Amino acid sequence: MLVEARDLTFEVRTGGPTDGVPVLLLHGFPQHGGEFDEVVPALHAAGLRTYAPDQRGYSPQARPTEVADYRIGECVADAVALLDALDAPTAHVVGHDWGALVAWRLAAGHADRVRTLTAVSVPHPTAMAYAMRADPEQKDRSAYIGLFRQTGTAEDVLLADDATALRSLLSGVGDADRVARYLEPMRRPGALTAALNWYRAMSPADLAEVGPSRVPTTYVWSDEDPAVGRTAAEACAGQVTGEYRFVELPGVSHWIPDERPGALAEAILHRIGA
């Protein structure tokens, strides 16, 4: 379905009973709301109503051109506006990768709208900042961000030779068809630049403003995630003032919703109490 919010039009995947408690599912880079397709059947079976938007830059009609339009505060405001447009005063919130960062800030700054938080892969930004200072290995893991922030260069590198680098990045999601479902939208004019603008708009000041999560929170991390090491993952506990649970998935890479949708659904349902 198409949802109007903040003078933008978002593509939103919906499912489950129309009277079910809402669950807002926020995707990451370089994917879209479809990354939760294999997670949501278990949520629907539990009586929950799911909404998985293609976020700012990923929905073709929600693709502003300025880098500043992709600051994290704008992306969080989109999520709040989508809840308003969906007539959902509150929702359980699930976020993966960049969607997790949006979700962390929602839980910190809009706790009245968030019933529970399940953050996947990406830890609270304060936990990540701590790991960058305390763990040299985390600095190495995060080095790719420097490339992604280079306008034009990143697009050239990722799309060169039939998008070899982007295909390699996505290889953990599964077979060639699964890679293609995320890669092909990124090859459309303006799409990859918009997605990379999330990185280019990122600032230490914005991330420092994200306070602790004030709602019941689960953080799901996989021990073969090349981008996030154990130091950052384990530091998340100190950034939650509500009830907290840490779920570690062994032998899984960054792409948890694709690789282990059943385990993620179980973690979400455990957090929700459904």
Residues with Cβ within 8 Å of residue 196, at least 6 apart in sequence: 29, 148, 149, 151, 154, 155
| Residue 140 annotated to the active site | no
Residue of 51, 70, 130, 199 marked catalytic: 199
Residue of 51, 124, 254, 258 marked catalytic: 254
| Residue 32 annotated to the active site | no
| Residue 254 annotated to the active site | yes
CA end-to-end span of the chain, whole Å?
Answer: 26
Q: Residues 45, 91, 222, 70: what is their CA dihedral angle, to the nearest 10 degrees?
A: 130
- CA–CA dist 111, 31 (Å, integer): 26
Task: Give the strands of the sheet with 48-53, arranged side by side.
Answer: 2-5, 8-15, 48-53, 21-26, 91-96, 114-120, 217-222, 244-249
* HSE-up of residue 12 (Cα within 13 Å, Cβ side): 23
- CA–CA dist 171, 194 (Å, integer): 21
Query: What does R_g of the chain's alpha carbons equal in angstroms?
Result: 17
- CA–CA dist 125, 139 (Å, integer): 14
Residue of 54, 97, 225, 258 marked catalytic: 97
- CA–CA dist 159, 183 (Å, integer): 10
* HSE-up of residue 99 (Cα within 13 Å, Cβ side): 31
- CA–CA dist 101, 103 (Å, integer): 5
Q: Which residues are annotated as catalytic?
A: 97, 199, 254
